[in-house]
């Protein structure tokens, strides 16, 4: 499980710094011990400061989860940064954004911090607590209480301002210091002469009481645990004995009172109840600490050790009891890859590696392999070859000998099986600025991340998951990658077409479309180059043919009028270059035209119409077909293949739709006998632009989808 340890130590990242600052802090060593304990428990922990940036960091660390995948959790150690009821700040934020966390909620923390309210609740529930009074401001009337008294701030923790007073004058003096220092009311309660006992609590409904622990006060000070004692400034050593040397009946009584106090304030998961034991054997509840310290020398940790919970076990037990509260089971199910079903094991393998998957996407984005970068392409292919051979795939020599195509297959080969096809090049213009990988809570950004990098990562982890479950070696599976997508596959098309003809199923590792859709039909695309040549002349010179550029504009409008949505055909001019001599109008014009089509016959007719529009005129022209990417037509095999993938998606409630696309892909090269689907990669946005990104949740969804399909259906 992903667990974020949230604490307060150094950060002052707030909008404004005012109000009473918090003095409580966790040390770096204590935080590291908790991190190490969670790692030992097979969790994926991170430590974060509980400041105004917390939600963004948590959302980045804990992306949305799949059905059946446990969400991340916060291990709350936050004392807050400033202001009132600081213990409630982080739990309140977590409640608002819907993140589970270890420990009590905002209400219990606020009640426990307000010592007066807590004592009133204890009284209402018949729990013994010393008599007390609230001093609201200087000049108060002396309370009718027996001296000596304990005075402390009404809403503070860690024994701040704690002092014993024996007279009214001492009371007024101590209260004045609290009014001045803490700017809040003073709690005065009768001092209970005797021993100090505390009881740690762990769990819920009901909590489990740990053995009572007694504090042993050194010489030279009162028998109370002051702030100076806790920060080692009092000059005396405070030790403890656990279990406390009290009889069994008193032990049970202390544990019972602690559980009742825990329940009365509505605490969760853990707490520590501080009590005094007088000479007559009477116990009095002083207060409840709803956020007990997990410091190495703390009494809560010492008491847990007495029941066999060494520190790592205690930390992980806290996660378990919080999980039980949120997810309804004492031990949230861990799927064993040896005892679980194939479906469960694939799920566990992949969801446990979400961080690794995203890290691998980042690594791929750092390898530049644009279409016109042969060095980068060789580097990327070398990296892919190493990954595939590590998983037991072997190069297919008769395919990989080609300059722009590489292929691998399992020991079983891929004849009559499944062929996965992707491109290693990133088809971006050389002049476009390289984009650095980054993430936000919902999306991952980077150069070519949707076109190439995320699909590459998906492929790697699909193969790893299949190999982990021993479903790869004998799986009839091939992988083909090519490096001229940015050149419209002009060099690789024949090889790709032949390879597809050897497979029964072809899955194209391109980005999925908006709405979590795959593509069952794609238009083809023809690229033409039109060159128009006129005579060089001055701007003011009259000519019966007019200016070449104006003539071209008229013809382009006529071409555009051939666009027919009903026939799924469109014509667009995507590039225009002119040549002209100084001070003369352009006489040479080169235009790149794209014809998007579904029916090759209509595309042929359109070309003839374009030539007729150009006709015979005073301008020389030449219209050449540069590339032709055939369409991917809908057919029964595609529908059956899509239905099989949809059935797997339904099992995990993975969004899965189907649509057609106007963009071409190598899917159009598949022969009629092969079922083909395109867009099985993660869902992407803003392809071919600097803002290209993928959905983080779709990355794990599509990886799981393809892994389970290949392990079962494929």
**How do residues 580-613 score in pLDDT, each as one tens digit?**
999 898 999 999 999 999 999 999 999 999 999 9
Task: Judge contact between 69 and 652, C-beta under 8 A.
Answer: no
Question: What is the reported pLDDT for 609?
Answer: 96
pLDDT of residue 433: 83
Percent of the chain with pLDDT over 90: 69
Residue 516 corresponds to which tokens in the numbers above? 């979590």
Rounded alpha-carbon distances, angstroms, from residue 466 to 158, 243, 474 = 54, 52, 10
Q: Is the pLDDT of residue 35 over 80?
A: yes
Using alpha carbons only, give the angle 167, 168, 173 rounded to the nearest 5 degrees: 100
Terminal-to-terminal C-alpha distance of the chain: 30
Q: Cβ neighbours of residue 149 under 8 Å, at least 6 residues apart?
A: 164, 165, 171, 188, 189, 190, 191
Model confidence at 553, pLDDT cuts 50, 70, 90, reads: very high
CA separation for the pair 136, 179 (Å, rounded): 9
pLDDT above 70 covers a percentage of the chain that reads 94
Residue 500 reports pLDDT greater than 60: yes
Q: What's the residue count for the chain?
A: 714
- Cα 252 to chain centroid distance, Å, stands at 45
Structural domains of the chain sorted by starting position, each given as residue range(s) with its CATH number in brackets: 2-99 (no CATH), 111-130+192-327 (3.30.470.20), 348-522+632-713 (3.40.630.10), 529-585+594-628 (3.30.70)
Burial class for 307, CB neighbours closer than 10 Å (0-12, 13-18, 19+): middle
pLDDT digits (tens, 9 = 90+) for 615-654: 987 789 999 999 999 999 988 899 999 999 999 999 888 9
Provide the Cα torsion 406, 409, 413, 416; round to 10°: -70
Give the range among 76-80, 440-444, 541-545 with minimum mean pLDDT.
541-545
Q: What is the pLDDT of residue 301?
A: 95
* Residue carrying structure tokens 């853990």: 270
Q: What is the pLDDT of residue 363?
A: 97
For residue 243, the model assigns a pLDDT of: 95
Structural contact between residues 140 and 128, judged by C-beta atoms closer than 8 angstroms:
no
Q: Which two tokens stand for residue 364?
A: 């791929």
Question: From start to end of 540-634, where are the E strands?
Answer: 570-579, 588-597, 620-629
Per-residue pLDDT, 18: 72
Q: What tokens appear for 642 in the block?
A: 């899509």
Mean pLDDT, range 118-125, rounded to an integer: 96
Q: For 206-224, what is the mean pLDDT? A: 85
Sheet holding 693-695, edge to edge: 438-439, 443-445, 693-695, 684-685
């Amino acid at each position: 499980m992903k667990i974020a340890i949230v604490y307060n130590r150094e950060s002052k990242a707030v909008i404004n710094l005012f109000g009473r600052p918090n003095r409580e802090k966790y040390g770096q060593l204590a935080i590291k011990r908790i991190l190490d304990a969670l790692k030992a428990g097979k969790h994926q922990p991170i430590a974060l400061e509980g400041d105004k940036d917390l939600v963004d960091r948590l959302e980045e660390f804990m992306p949305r989860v799949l059905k059946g995948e446990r969400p991340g959790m916060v291990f709350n150690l936050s004392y807050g940064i400033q202001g009132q009821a600081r213990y409630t700040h982080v739990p309140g934020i977590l409640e608002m954004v819907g993140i589970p966390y270890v420990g009590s909620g905002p209400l219990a923390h606020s009640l426990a911090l307000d010592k007066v309210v807590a004592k009133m609740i204890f009284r209402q529930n018949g729990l013994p607590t010393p008599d007390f009074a609230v001093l609201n401001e200087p000049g108060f009337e002396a309370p009718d209480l027996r001296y000596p008294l304990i005075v402390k701030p009404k809403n503070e923790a860690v024994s701040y301002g704690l002092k014993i007073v024996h007279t009214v004058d001492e009371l007024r003096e101590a209260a004045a210091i609290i009014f001045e220092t803490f700017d809040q009311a003073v709690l005065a309660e009768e001092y209970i002469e005797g021993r100090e006992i505390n009881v740690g609590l762990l769990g819920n409904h009901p909590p489990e009481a740990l053995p009572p622990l007694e504090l042993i006060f050194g010489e030279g000070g009162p028998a109370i645990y002051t702030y100076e004692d806790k920060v080692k400034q009092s000059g005396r050593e405070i030790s403890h004995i656990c279990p406390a040397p009290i009889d069994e009946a008193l032990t049970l009584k202390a544990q019972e009172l602690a559980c009742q106090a825990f329940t009365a304030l509505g605490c969760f998961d853990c707490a520590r109840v501080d009590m005094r034991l007088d000479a007559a054997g009477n116990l009095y509840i002083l207060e409840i600490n709803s956020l007990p310290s997990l410091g190495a020398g703390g009494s809560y940790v010492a008491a847990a050790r007495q029941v066999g919970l060494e520190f790592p076990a205690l930390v992980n037990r806290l996660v378990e009891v919080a999980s039980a509260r949120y997810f309804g089971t004492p031990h949230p199910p861990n799927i064993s890859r040896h005892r679980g079903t194939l479906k469960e094991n694939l799920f566990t393998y992949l969801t446990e590696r979400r961080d690794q998957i995203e890290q691998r996407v980042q690594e791929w984005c750092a390898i530049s392999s644009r279409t016109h970068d042969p060095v980068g392409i060789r580097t990327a292919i070398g990296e892919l070859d190493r990954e595939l051979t590590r998983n037991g795939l072997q190069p297919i020599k008769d395919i990989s000998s080609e300059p722009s195509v590489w292929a691998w297959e399992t020991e079983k080969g891929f004849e009559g099986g499944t062929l996965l096809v992707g491109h290693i090049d990133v088809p971006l213009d050389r002049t476009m600025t390289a984009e650095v990988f980054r993430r936000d809570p919902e999306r991952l950004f980077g150069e070519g991340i949707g076109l190439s990098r995320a699909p590459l990562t998906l492929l790697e982890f699909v193969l790893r998951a299949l190999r982990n479950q021993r479903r790869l070696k004998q799986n009839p599976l091939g992988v083909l990658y090519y490096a001229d997508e940015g050149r419209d596959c002009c060099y690789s098309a024949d090889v790709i077409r032949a390879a597809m003809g050897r497979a029964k199923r072809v899955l194209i590792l391109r980005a999925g479309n908006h709405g979590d859709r795959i593509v069952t039909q794609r238009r083809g695309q023809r690229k033409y180059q039109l060159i128009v040549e006129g005579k060089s002349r001055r701007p003011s010179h009259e000519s019966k043919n007019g200016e070449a550029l104006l003539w071209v504009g008229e013809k382009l409008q006529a071409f555009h009028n051939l666009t027919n949505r009903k026939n799924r055909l469109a014509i667009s001019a995507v590039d225009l270059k002119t040549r002209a001599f100084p001070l003369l109008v352009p006489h040479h014009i080169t235009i790149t035209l794209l014809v998007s089509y579904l029916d090759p016959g209509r595309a042929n007719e359109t070309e003839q119409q374009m030539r007729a529009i150009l006709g015979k005129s005073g301008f020389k022209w030449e219209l050449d077909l540069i590339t032709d990417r055939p369409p991917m037509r809908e057919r029964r095999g595609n529908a059956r293949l899509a239905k099989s993938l949809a059935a797997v998606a339904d099992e995990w409630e993975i969004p899965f739709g189907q649509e057609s696309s106007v963009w071409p892909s190598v899917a159009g090269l598949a022969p009629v006998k092969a079922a083909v689907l395109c867009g099985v990669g993660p869902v992407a946005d803003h392809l071919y632009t600097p803002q290209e990104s993928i959905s983080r949740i779709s990355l794990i969804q599509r990886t799981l989808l393809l892994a389970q399909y290949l392990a079962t259906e494929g």
